[in-house]
Amino acid sequence: MLPLHLSRHFAHRCFPRSNLLLTSYFFSTTSTTDDRHESKPSQPSPPPIQVLLTESAGRGVFATRTIEPGELIHTAKPLVSHPSISSIDKVCYFCLNNTPQPSDFQPHKVLFCSEECREQAKGFYEVEKEADWSEFVAHCRTRGLKYPFLAKRLACMVISGVASADSLDILQPARLSPEMISQMEEELCLLRGALEDSGMKGKQLTFLNIEWYAGVLARIRINAFRIELAGNTYEGLLALAAASVESEAAVGNAVYMLPSFYNHDCDPNSHIVWVENVEARLKALREIEAGEELRICYIDASMDRDARQNLLSNGFGFECNCPRCMSND
């Protein structure tokens, strides 16, 4: 049985302090050059950042040179992602790109926007499609749960061998209450049951215990991003407008490596955007000096101070002491 609270002690057991210092070259494969000048294609270069320990907020992302306003700092592909329940029949099951339904589309099937996405999805979909997820989906739908879908997909990726069971261990976990863990045990039972009923053997599911499941969800809870596509086509903008009317602008959720290391500020100097799909784009909102920490806003920055503090405390487990909050703005 997992301890009642996944604390910092639990986190440091999973990733020792000596492993928290990560330099920019570790993420060089996720970067691109500045996209403001697109006339000539160029080779990817290491992003102008490095990950270091901060004095009070754990790890943070720092500029290694001056970053210009509007500059694309880097891009990032997710460690794991999943469409929202309301978007499952509207977006690509792999990249979350808005995807029209073909004329022969059948209920309970999934969409892929390209053969490339279909091929890349094989890592989890070959496992996933063999199971009956109706009870698991119904359980999550009636309780308004979204993160168990990310855990389900990661489990299928581990089973198929395209991801390791400790893929998310480097990320900071949230603290879990006894009630949360009790709920997770019920979800795990449905998840494991669906896989066992599909023919999965015990050896393939050895990792899938409450420690693994709760540890994964503890990290997903405070590191997952809501994916809201900006859209660069007329159809994309229409789809976004329709989703907004339905009060569900997010097409899904995803967990990333490098973007998860960005700390929060209610007056950020950087932001994260999604244009057509789940690939994240980190861009500078203003000039950022070499050595300055890059920060994004985890919530709606237009809210008043009390609302922001309440949301950050309940959702992310910390009190914001940024200059804006300290000045009662």
**Could you report the per-residue pLDDT of 57-85, keeping only the tens digit for each?**
889 999 999 999 999 999 999 999 999 99
Where do the domains of the chain lie?
8-76+265-298, 80-254, 303-329
Mean pLDDT of 43-53: 88
Which sign, positive or negative, has the C-alpha torsion 48, 53, 55, 56? positive
Task: Answer yes or no: CATH 2.170.270.10 is held by domain 8-76+265-298.
Answer: yes
Q: What is the dihedral of CA 76, 80, 83, 88, to 10 degrees?
A: 130
List all residues 6 or more positions away from 25 whose beta carbon is below 8 Å from its beta carbon: 46
Query: For position 198, what pLDDT does the model report?
Result: 96
Q: From CA 292, how far away is CA 36, in angstroms rounded? A: 22
Q: Which two tokens stand for residue 191?
A: 């998840």
Which sign, positive or negative, has the C-alpha torsion 241, 246, 249, 255? negative
Burial of 200-230, coded b for 16+ CB within 10 Å and e otherwise, reads beeeebeebeeebbbbbbbbbbbbbbebbbe
Mean pLDDT of 154-182: 95
Pairing outcome for strands 270-273 and 72-76: unpaired
Task: Report whether pLDDT(16) > 50.
Answer: no
Residue pair 280/225 in contact by the 8 Å Cβ criterion? yes
The letter for the amino acid at 58 is G
Q: From CA 13, how far away is CA 4, in angstroms rounded? A: 16
Residue pair 296/265 in contact by the 8 Å Cβ criterion? yes
pTM attached to this predicted model: 0.82
Q: How many CB atoms lie within 10 A of CB 111?
A: 22
Query: For position 9, what pLDDT does the model report?
Result: 37
Mean pLDDT of 96-125: 91
Name the least confident of 72-86, 100-114, 271-285: 100-114
Mean pLDDT of 217-235: 83
The pLDDT mean for the chain works out to: 85
What proportion of the chain, given as a percentage, has pLDDT over 90?
A: 70
Secondary structure of the chain in HEC code, one letter for each residue: CCCCCCCHHHHHHHCCHHHCCECHHHHHHHCCCCCCCCCCCCCCCCCCEEEEECCCCCEEEEECCCECCCCEEEEECCCEEEECHHHCCCEECCCCCECCCCCCCCCCCCECCCHHHHHHHHHHHHHHCCCCCHHHHHHHHHHCCCHHHHHHHHHHHHHHCCCCCCCCCCCCCCCCCHHHHHHHHHHHHHHHHHHHHCCCCHHHHCCCCHHHHHHHHHHHHHHEEEECECCCCHHHHHHHHHHHHCCCCCCEEEECCHHHHCEECCCCCEEEEECCCCCEEEEECCCECCCCEEEECCCCCCCCHHHHHHHHHHHHCCCCCCHHHHCCC
Query: For position 285, what pLDDT does the model report?
Result: 97
Query: For position 143, what pLDDT does the model report?
Result: 95
Q: How many CB atoms lie within 10 A of CB 68?
A: 12
Q: Which two tokens stand for residue 148?
A: 């168990």
Quick: pLDDT tens for 162-173.
999 999 999 999
Q: 22-36, 41-55, 284-298: which has the highest mean pLDDT?
A: 284-298
Q: From CA 137, how far away is CA 318, in angstroms rounded? A: 31
Query: For position 201, what pLDDT does the model report?
Result: 84
Task: Report whether pLDDT(243) > 70.
Answer: no
Sole residue written with tokens 């009956």: 132
Higher pLDDT, 311 or 240: 311
Query: For position 24, what pLDDT does the model report?
Result: 34
